[in-house]
Amino acid sequence: MQKRNTQQRRHAIIRLLADKGEVSVDSLSRLFDTSEVTIRKDLAELERNGLLLRRYGGAVPVPSELVPPVQEEEQVSKRKIAIARCAAGLIRDHYRLIIDSGSTTAALIPELAQRRGLVVMTNSLVVAAALRELENEPTLLMTGGTWDPHSESFQGQVAEQVLRSYDFDQLFIGAAGIDPARGTTTFNELIGLSRVMAEVSREVIVLAESHKVGRRIPNLELPWTSIDVLVTDSGLAGDVQQQIEQQGVQVICAPDNLE
């Protein structure tokens, strides 16, 4: 089979999962004529978007009612950009930031080009590389720690200790799911670092698309008491927005046509 571009390959992986019920990294690598490293990145990104669950050596589907339609992916991507632009409006020159791993938080990086004197801590190599590409190049700090291929980020006690050595103005963090009654949720059981990030930040800002609201995901990552702002898109239902705001959280809905 000829190599496909990234999005086509990921769509095909979801279809294979629906047909077979399980896929392996080895078989996908051979099928798409690409490296196992690339396939693992595909599976990690699809899991971050709630489209599958990774297992040792491969992946299995999540329940069908939790999966957003594949054809909406382009619109979701536009929503991520709109969310990132709104979130960037909360940042001031010379702020000290934490930017967690994830595709929505990574979308924030190009929006930092107009800010000066930023200090940014991250546990993500992807975020770090993007920061280095900025012309104004913020001061970059890395958590270090143990590399977790499941979340494609550094985790663990070393990372937590490094974070506790600093204080920050803002944390920008994504979410696999949003429970309007409880807070943000995740498939990943490694939630300790997220909570430390929140502890050492004056303001905690969650970036998440509205279709993640209501997903039945088992692990509570951050309770609403730890969150100050939710930046999402215009698809958030009014009653859900009100329920979240009653938890003391400011909700910002990015317009679809944000320039």
What is the spatial distance between Cα 121 and Cα 143, in angstroms, rounded to a whole number? 7
Same domain, 97 and 174: yes
Is the distance from CB of 174 to CB of 122 less than 8 angstroms? no
Choice among 48-52, 97-101, 204-208, 231-235 with the minimum mean pLDDT: 48-52
pLDDT for the residue numbered 63: 57
Query: Are β-strands 168-173 and 96-99 bridged in parallel, bridged antiparallel, or unpaired?
Result: parallel
Residue 148 lies in a domain: yes
Same domain, 105 and 218: yes
Answer with the residue of higher pLDDT: 203 or 219. 203
Same domain, 60 and 81: no
Q: What is the pTM of this model?
A: 0.72
The per-residue pLDDT for range 46-95, each reduced to its tens digit, is: 887 777 888 888 998 875 544 454 444 444 478 899 999 999 999 999 99
- Gyration radius of the chain's alpha carbons: 18
pLDDT for the residue numbered 72: 44
Cα→Cα distances 221→107, 117, 160, Å: 21, 30, 15
Query: Are β-strands 229-233 and 250-254 bridged in parallel, bridged antiparallel, or unpaired?
Result: parallel
pLDDT for the residue numbered 202: 97
pLDDT for the residue numbered 257: 66
Sign for the CA dihedral angle at 70, 72, 78, 79 comes to negative
- By residue range, what is the domain housing residue 30? 6-67
Structural domains counted in the chain: 2
Mean pLDDT of the chain: 87
CATH number at residue 186: 3.40.50.1360
Query: Are β-strands 153-155 and 146-148 bridged in parallel, bridged antiparallel, or unpaired?
Result: antiparallel
Is the distance from CB of 103 to CB of 48 less than 8 angstroms? yes
